[in-house]
Chain A
């Protein structure tokens, strides 16, 4: 959009939700989604992360992907706070199905029941799922 007086446009802040549904190392989706999160954070957007289904495995403690010469991006989740990304949610049903508890995660999370996860999704301007 052009502005006649060449003043910078106001930054439009939207509510972004990044939904992570895939386990971390079998495909590249989790890493790519994390890259998108960092980009949105740099553009000062209102960034939210949700982990559900196999996505909850992304933030499991003690991952050692380097043993297979894979990138250990699980450390990057711990740096999200430095980017101002602190709204991080996990779905209660998904973690229970997989025998996990919030203590298994490398970052602090807010646990939401499935209904509340649905409501969170509905409250967003943009939802990006991988």
Chain B
């Protein structure tokens, strides 16, 4: 399963809701405002940092870039992907669940 999360962890609990149900080994792509969850040194960093061993985390690089962020600021264990990588994930993981 590929889980898509698109809300900031500072404002919404979508990422926590996803982590509560995602089966270990699942892929989780942080996109749109959820890219803020991928950053080091924030009050919400532990959400992802505490789960990188259980899941394959990805962050959508174009959504980092438009927010003035880049891969160097991202937590260890979170892999930046471009749109092509996003498409590959949807194919590799077959089922997609979007945590709106």
Contacts and interface: CB of A to CB of B under 8 A. Distances in A.
B1 A53 contact: no
Contact of B21 (A22, A114, A126, A130): A114
A111 interface: no
B43 interface: no
Nearest to B17: A53
Contact of A129 (B20, B23, B99): B99
Interface in A108-127: 114, 117-119, 121-122, 124-127
A67 B7 CA distance: 32
B97 A127 contact: yes
Contacts of A127: 1, 95-97
Given A19-B97, A29-B100, A122 B1 contact: yes
Size class of A's contact patch? Answer: 20 to 34
Nearest to B4: A129
Given A121-B1, A122-B1, A129 B21 contact: no
Size class of B's contact patch? Answer: 10 to 19
A121 B21 contact: yes
A48 interface: no
B98 interface: yes
A92 interface: no
A21 B17 contact: yes
A74 to B, nearest CB: 21
A8 B71 CA distance: 51
Contacts of B95: 122, 124-127
20 contacts: A19-B97, A21-B17, A21-B100, A29-B100, A52-B21, A93-B20, A114-B20, A114-B21, A118-B22, A121-B21, A121-B97, A122-B1, A125-B95, A126-B95, A127-B1, A127-B95, A127-B96, A129-B98, A129-B99, A130-B100
